[in-house]
Amino acid sequence: MELTVVWYLRMSLIYFVAGTIIGFGMLLWPSESGYFIPLHVHLNLLGFMSMMIYGVGYHILPKFSGTVMYSPLMMKIQFWVANAGMIGMVLSWPFAMGAEASLSNAVLMISALLSVIAVILFAINMLKTLKPV
Ligand code: HEM
Ligand code: HEM
């Protein structure tokens, strides 16, 4: 398995552990949980599930298509973009809820944009890869 793919899977599992620990923390401190719901949701769904799908997808979908990946370089760039976006969203989201939180809001917007770019890079790479056998 290629190193970048391994790192997609490793990061996915790290986000899974973080997401579920935060979920448990939300049960322990329900009065604070409102700040952490978006964090919990996106660590689990964008961090764990999407990152797992990126890794497994890059590894297996070209094989299913009987071809090679359109752009391994794009996969490597997407790894950094997706993780910068995810980590930025995690660090800024709990602080970006108040109207005065302008720096956190700016970080959140940039990180969210990086996450969207990562999704688009994955989609382009896979759309260019997938072909009927
Ligand atoms: C140890 C595991 C987990 C615990 C203890 C946990 C706990 C929680 C808690 C306390 C809430 C807030 C509920 C509320 O007050 O409205 C929540 C919401 C949520 N969790 Fe988890 N969670 C866990 C795992 C997961 C996983 C694995 C996923 C997704 C793959 C997930 C997805 C969600 C979503 C989407 C919401 C938001 C639901 C809504 O829109 O209200 N959770 N979770
Ligand atoms: C590009 C990445 C993404 C961005 C920028 C984004 C942004 C947002 C925002 C702004 C909200 C509203 C949060 C609030 O209540 O204040 C939200 C909610 C939500 N998102 Fe995302 N999202 C992204 C990706 C995803 C993905 C990939 C999934 C699922 C696979 C997802 C599932 C959800 C769910 C379930 C909620 C409702 C959570 C709740 O109950 O509060 N998001 N998202």
Give nearest CA residue, ligand 1 atom 9: 23
Model confidence, pTM: 0.94
State the closest ligand 2 atom to the C-alpha of 37, by its place in the atom list counted from 1. Answer: 41
Number of domains the chain is built from? 1
| Cα-to-centroid distance, 64 and ligand 2 (Å) | 30
pLDDT tens digit at each of 133 positions of the chain: 999 999 999 999 999 999 999 999 999 999 989 889 999 999 999 999 999 999 999 999 999 999 999 999 999 999 999 999 999 999 999 888 766 678 889 999 999 999 999 999 999 999 999 988 7
Atom 25 in ligand 1: which residue has the minimum CA distance? 20
| Long-range contacts at 3-10 (CB < 8 A, ≥ 24 apart) | 4/58, 4/72, 4/75, 4/76, 4/79, 5/55, 5/58, 5/59, 6/55, 7/55, 7/79, 8/51, 8/52, 8/54, 8/55, 8/58, 8/79, 9/51, 9/52, 9/55, 9/56
pLDDT at 52: 98
**Which atom of ligand 2 is nearest the CA belonging to 46?**
27
Residue nearest to atom 28 of ligand 1 (CA): 44
Q: Are 59 and 1 in contact (CB under 8 A)?
A: yes
Q: Which domain holds residue 35?
A: 3-129
